[in-house]
Structure 1
């Protein structure tokens, strides 16, 4: 129910009020604190110059060691 053709919804529309109330009280589960997964620190080393394929600076020169951190979940 609306007040006019393009007006605001009325509080008399009990179906809409019920839907909004249900939506407002919906339980959102908490994020898992101790999620499973593993991670590793290390280095990435490009074996050859890849500057013709990309503009990424760490791939521009062969043999350059770049520290990395990777997480697998």
Structure 2
């Protein structure tokens, strides 16, 4: 996080990647607030959810989801 805060001062746009269903909401909010303080005023911060299963997001499941060993 420290490297990101330093680099935010020089960025035109910031991409903040959040690990889906793992990163606590409070931690993500704290990190975005820290980035906003470090970045120049008006710098957009884009959030990206990582490791989200697209199939389950849209309600599609594979046959292997029905079988449990």
Structure with the bigger percentage of helix: 2
Q: TM-score, normalised by structure 1?
A: 0.20
Q: TM-score, normalised by structure 2?
A: 0.22
Structure with the bigger percentage of strand: 1
Q: Does 1 or 2 have the higher relative contact order (CA < 8 Å, sep 6+)? A: 2
